[in-house]
Amino acid sequence: MSTENQEYSSKSIQVLEGLEAVRKRPGMYVGSTGPMGLHHLVYEVVDNSIDEAVAGFCNHIRVTIHKEDIIEVSDNGRGIPVDKHEKYNVSALEIVMTKLHAGGKFDNKTYKISGGLHGVGVSVVNALSEWLEVRVARDGKIYSQRYNCGVKEYDVKPVGKSETNGTQVKFRADSKIFETTEYNFDVLSKRLRELAFLNKGIKIEIRDLRKKEEKFHIFQFNGGIVTFIEHLNEAKNALHPKPIYFEYIKDDIQLEVAMEYNDGYAENVFAYVNNINTTEGGTHVSGFHAALTKTFNDYLKKYELDKKFNAVISGDDTREGLTAVLSLKIPNPQFEGQTKTKLGNSEVKGLVQTAVSEKLAVFFDENPKIGKIIIEKTMQAAKAREAARKARELARRKNELSSESLPGKLADCSERNPDLCELYIVEGDSAGGSAKQARDRTFQAILPLWGKMLNVEKARISKIIENDKLMPIIATLGAGIGEDFDVSKIRYSKIIIMADADVDGSHIRTLLLTFFFRYMRPLVENENIYIAMPPLYKIWAQDKIFYAFNDEEREKIVKNEFKTDKINIQRYKGLGEMNPDQLWDTTMNPASRSIIRVTCEDIVAAETMFSVLMGDQVEPRRKFIEEYAKEVKNLDI
């Protein structure tokens, strides 16, 4: 090994000053340089306004997307302080905009409740913006300062007068850092709607001025998380007329809980701490689960229903068909990691368990009819759980879930390291046969499916385990299902859905995605699921062959590649029409294929969408189709 030019001395040590570290490693601060990180910039600025609202000084927040994807966030809060800081001898506004871990959220006085615990929010936005301009209205004046890539253009200065207070931050994300600087109006709207639900009464506006036809939403929910529950359950059949709601305040800790049962089978508990969605749960969720189990079993004993049903309700039984929102406001939350997705405060579990147990017991006593309906639903879940247990035992006895007895239709790969293996779930035996011939047997496995499978949105797990379309998938993946699913045991790191580019193929993809989301969600959260993208057209003349994935691409190829040739164009009706070589070249060769990774940035939005598209309620689905019908392209694909 050559040691030339490998001197390691003090000259090799770099010190990144100010915001240089952020520009050097942006992913550490906003998650990624893709669309998720781009939208995170907006959330960081909005969160500062929300903190002002929670503190009681702001009730109106505006987000505007200007042309060229310039973002403007304004509020009517107190305005960031502009007076000089004693230690640094510059305006407090400049410190907030340029120094990491600087802000008013560390003394528990300025902001008792805050999501921005690390104090890096707006300074990171400044560092990752091509330019940023901040205006502060306070003390009768308007102050301004502008930055370029985090470097100030001028000192904080007064530029006018104002009778109101507030802060306005306007910026353009740096295209040299982000893969795209185009914002998605719907993505931003969903997050702002969520914040409006969690902070009752606050008015949040979003406007998109990039096109002639302006888009806008105004979110204001005086019902708070009760309205949130009604929104989440809009496409479901609720078992009681109104959500159960209660509030619990002790010292500086505030807990709000809203919950409603429906006739479905999925559990959807959304937990927030200081407006942050704790997707990995934590002590507050553990306390909530424990409270449900205790309260329901106490109810059974009180009315001697435990003898009638001869069963003890498990925690999972109490959460079947439950939609709940927990909103916890706490001065010093201890999150696990910068991602803030799991709460670690040990004292919170007992507080939540006590609060929910007391309030829910009172509700059941005051509303015996609703209590009886919910308990009966829970007992049905217990019976179904027992049926599912027996079905699992039967399946194990038949060795259908063991690795020694994999499905007969599976063409497995020779590689045994899951990180190197791919599973293609292929629509139909014909396409499955072509895929088996086309694949690289070393690392690619093929599982053909036939016919339409079960819509799991309308079925309990006991039915799923008995289903002949889904059992081969469960057996092939080898990681269990539902509460028993263990993502660490999957046999393939990439699970690729390969279906025809038509309506039936789209339906099969949707059914499979519903199954994975409901009963193997870690596969979605860990981004193990992919969608294959087979071409729609083959275009050739003489010895030149091209493939196009849509009409626009076909026209471009025809125009640019075949100027004088007589062109042949074949439109593929299905995967089975391709020979193995074509299938390998276009859809299965890692060096040339196009596949889409399935991600889930917004669990709340995904939950709502699956309920709307795959649930029993027709009206929400009709409204969705009417709203988005104009945006549909290639309807037959």
> In 3D, which of 168, 159, 141, 187 has the Cα closest to residue 71?
168
Q: Which of 484, 504, 527, 552 is catalytic?
A: 504
What pLDDT score was predicted for residue 395? Answer: 55
Which pairing describes strands 494-498 and 422-427: parallel, antiparallel, or unpaired?
parallel
For residue 138, is pLDDT > 90?
A: yes
384 φ/ψ angles, rounded to the nearest 5 degrees: -65, -35
For residue 95, is pLDDT > 80?
A: yes
Beta-sheet strands, E only, within 533-578: 537-541, 544-548, 568-571
- Least confident residue range of 40-54, 119-133, 521-535: 119-133
Please check whether residues 242 and 369 belong to one and the same domain: yes
Whole-angstrom Cα distance, residue 584 to residue 240?
A: 53
Domain that holds residue 356: 225-387
Residue 587 covered by a domain: no
Please check whether residues 57 and 153 belong to one and the same domain: yes
pLDDT band with cut points at 50, 70 and 90 for residue 119: very low
What pLDDT score was predicted for residue 383? Answer: 83
Q: Which of 230, 256, 320, 500 is catalytic?
A: 500
Residue 192 covered by a domain: yes
Whole-angstrom Cα distance, residue 637 to residue 617?
A: 26
Q: Average pLDDT of 459-479?
A: 86
Per the annotation, the verdict on 440 as an active-site residue is: no
* Structural domain ending residue among the three candidates 358, 387, 416: 387
What pLDDT score was predicted for residue 503? Answer: 76
**In this prediction, what percent of the chain has a pLDDT beyond 90?**
51
Q: Average pLDDT of 528-542?
A: 90
Answer with the residue of higher pLDDT: 450 or 495: 495
**What is the pTM assigned to this prediction?**
0.76
Residue 114 covered by a domain: yes
What pLDDT score was predicted for residue 399? Answer: 45
For residue 520, is pLDDT > 90?
A: yes
Please check whether residues 200 and 262 belong to one and the same domain: no
**In this prediction, what percent of the chain has a pLDDT beyond 70?**
88
How do residues 395-443 score in pLDDT, each as one tens digit? 555 544 444 457 778 999 999 999 999 999 998 878 888 899 999 999 9
Q: Average pLDDT of 468-493?
A: 90
Whole-angstrom Cα distance, residue 325 to residue 257?
A: 6
> In 3D, which of 469, 464, 460, 428 has the Cα closest to residue 446?
428
Q: Average pLDDT of 196-201?
A: 95
Please check whether residues 276 and 210 belong to one and the same domain: no
What pLDDT score was predicted for residue 173? Answer: 97
Answer with the residue of higher pLDDT: 142 or 469: 142
What pLDDT score was predicted for residue 10? Answer: 37
* Structural domain ending residue among the three candidates 219, 242, 275: 219
Per the annotation, the verdict on 427 as an active-site residue is: yes
Residue 509 covered by a domain: no
Please check whether residues 140 and 229 belong to one and the same domain: no
Average pLDDT of the residues of the chain: 85
Q: Which of 502, 551, 585, 616 is catalytic?
A: 502
Please check whether residues 177 and 43 belong to one and the same domain: yes
pLDDT band with cut points at 50, 70 and 90 for residue 161: very high
Residue 78 covered by a domain: yes
Under DSSP, the state recorded for 419 is G
Please check whether residues 177 and 250 belong to one and the same domain: no
Please check whether residues 197 and 232 belong to one and the same domain: no
Name, of 19-23, 89-93, 366-370, the range with top average pLDDT: 366-370
What pLDDT score was predicted for residue 463? Answer: 82
Please check whether residues 174 and 34 belong to one and the same domain: yes
pLDDT band with cut points at 50, 70 and 90 for residue 495: very high
Residue 112 covered by a domain: yes
Q: Average pLDDT of 266-274?
A: 92
Please check whether residues 338 and 318 belong to one and the same domain: yes
Per the annotation, the verdict on 502 as an active-site residue is: yes
* Structural domain ending residue among the three candidates 341, 365, 387: 387
For residue 636, is pLDDT > 60?
A: no
For residue 145, is pLDDT > 60?
A: yes
How do residues 201-219 score in pLDDT, each as one tens digit? 999 999 999 998 999 999 9
For residue 14, is pLDDT > 80?
A: no
For residue 558, is pLDDT > 70?
A: yes
How do residues 571-587 score in pLDDT, each as one tens digit? 887 787 888 998 998 89
Whole-angstrom Cα distance, residue 507 to residue 528?
A: 20
How many domains does the structure of the chain reveal? 2
Please check whether residues 289 and 201 belong to one and the same domain: no
What pLDDT score was predicted for residue 635? Answer: 47
Q: Write out the two tokens for 85.
A: 């800081």
Q: Spell out the residues 6+ positions from residue 462 whose beta carbon is closer than 8 angstroms to its own.
A: 384, 385, 387, 388, 391
Please check whether residues 192 and 231 belong to one and the same domain: no
339 φ/ψ angles, rounded to the nearest 5 degrees: -70, -20
pLDDT band with cut points at 50, 70 and 90 for residue 306: low
Yes or no: say if 141 and 160 are a contact pair by the CB < 8 Å rule.
yes
Q: Which of 72, 317, 422, 427 is catalytic?
A: 427
For residue 363, is pLDDT > 60?
A: yes
pLDDT band with cut points at 50, 70 and 90 for residue 8: very low
Taking phi over 0 as left and psi of -120 to 50 as alpha, with beta for the rest, 150 belongs to: left
pLDDT band with cut points at 50, 70 and 90 for residue 109: low
What pLDDT score was predicted for residue 630? Answer: 61
Taking phi over 0 as left and psi of -120 to 50 as alpha, with beta for the rest, 480 belongs to: left
